[in-house]
């Protein structure tokens, strides 16, 4: 649970306690109040219609908080968000279609193998730690700029670059993968339904989209800051170009 729920409950409780004090001061402003008097006031507040609107508003706000936190949990594919973040501009600008993202995640899984699960768990734990440390001040930029997250992202990019050692074959394969539209939709670990496509146009993903995708994806290394490059050198033993230079040579010839 995030911090919003507990804070809201505290605010709600404080409102009720303030009402109790006001009721006590109104009934016993010039004399001492005994336990019987306190019980009478509390019993009155329990059934007071004056609280009906307050409880309705509080209930609605609490449900909104619960719904928001559930939605945030669904979105917490931290590793996926980390890898896709450099593509935000291309996705928001329409150069790339968000419909390709499931295929992108499949591609990354194929490249990394078992390491994909390891990186996913490390990213999820890192987000949990950051949420606990930052509470309401947490934002995804704090995650993207975290050194451990950057190392995971860099390792993944280096692996992706290495997977394109046979450039032409790998490029053709990747484009076909991005053009693929699943014929089933998963409902769980062992349940699927057939997806009806009707007369949908085939997904557009060609050379233009390929170039836009990888030029965006590799920005964390092609636009790396001097400070981050020092961290990269310590982790990998040399500068980024040493590890992805051949990939970038092919990509540079990829006209948009």
pLDDT in tens, 132-151: 999 878 899 999 999 999 99
Tokens encoding 17: 């306690």
Least Cα distance to 210 among 110, 113, 87 occurs for 87
pLDDT interval class at 161 (50, 70, 90): very high
pLDDT of 29 strictly over 70? no
- Region 239-243: mean pLDDT is 96
Q: What is the pLDDT of residues 164-217, one digit of tens each?
A: 999 999 999 999 999 987 644 443 333 444 444 454 556 789 999 999 999 999
Give the chain's mean pLDDT: 83
Give the integer Cα–Cα distance in Å for 224 and 78: 21
Give the integer Cα–Cα distance in Å for 123 and 76: 10
- At 184 the pLDDT is 42
pLDDT of 66 strictly over 80? no
Instruction: Please state, for a pLDDT cut of 70, what percent of the chain lies above it.
Output: 79
Count the neighbouring beta carbons within 10 Å of the beta carbon of residue 140. Answer: 15
What per-residue string of b and e applies to 169-187 under the rule 16 or more CB within 10 Å gives b? eebeebbeebeeeeeeeee
């Amino acid at each position: 649970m995030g911090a919003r729920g507990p804070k809201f409950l505290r605010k709600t409780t404080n409102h009720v306690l303030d009402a109790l004090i006001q009721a006590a001061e109104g009934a016993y402003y010039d004399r001492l109040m005994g336990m019987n008097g306190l019980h009478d006031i509390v019993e009155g507040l329990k059934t007071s219609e004056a609280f009906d609107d307050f409880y309705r508003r509080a209930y609605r706000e609490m449900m909104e908080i619960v719904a928001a936190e559930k939605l945030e949990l669904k979105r917490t594919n931290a590793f996926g968000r980390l890898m896709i973040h450099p593509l935000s501009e291309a996705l928001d600008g329409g150069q790339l279609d968000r419909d390709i993202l499931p295929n992108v995640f499949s591609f990354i899984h194929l490249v990394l193998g078992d390491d994909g699960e390891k990186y996913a768990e490390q990213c999820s734990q890192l987000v949990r730690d950051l949420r606990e440390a930052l509470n309401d001040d947490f934002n995804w930029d704090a995650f993207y700029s975290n050194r451990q997250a950057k190392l995971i992202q860099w390792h993944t990019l280096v692996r992706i670059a290495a997977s394109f050692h046979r450039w032409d074959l790998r490029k053709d394969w990747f484009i076909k993968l991005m053009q693929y539209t699943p014929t089933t939709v998963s409902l769980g670990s062992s349940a699927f339904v057939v997806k009806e496509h009707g007369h949908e146009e085939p997904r557009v993903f060609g050379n233009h989209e390929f170039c836009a995708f990888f030029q965006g994806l590799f920005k964390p290394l092609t636009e790396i800051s001097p400070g981050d490059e020092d961290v990269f050198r310590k982790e990998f033993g040399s500068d980024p170009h040493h590890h992805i230079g051949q990939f970038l040579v092919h990509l540079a010839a990829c006209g948009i």
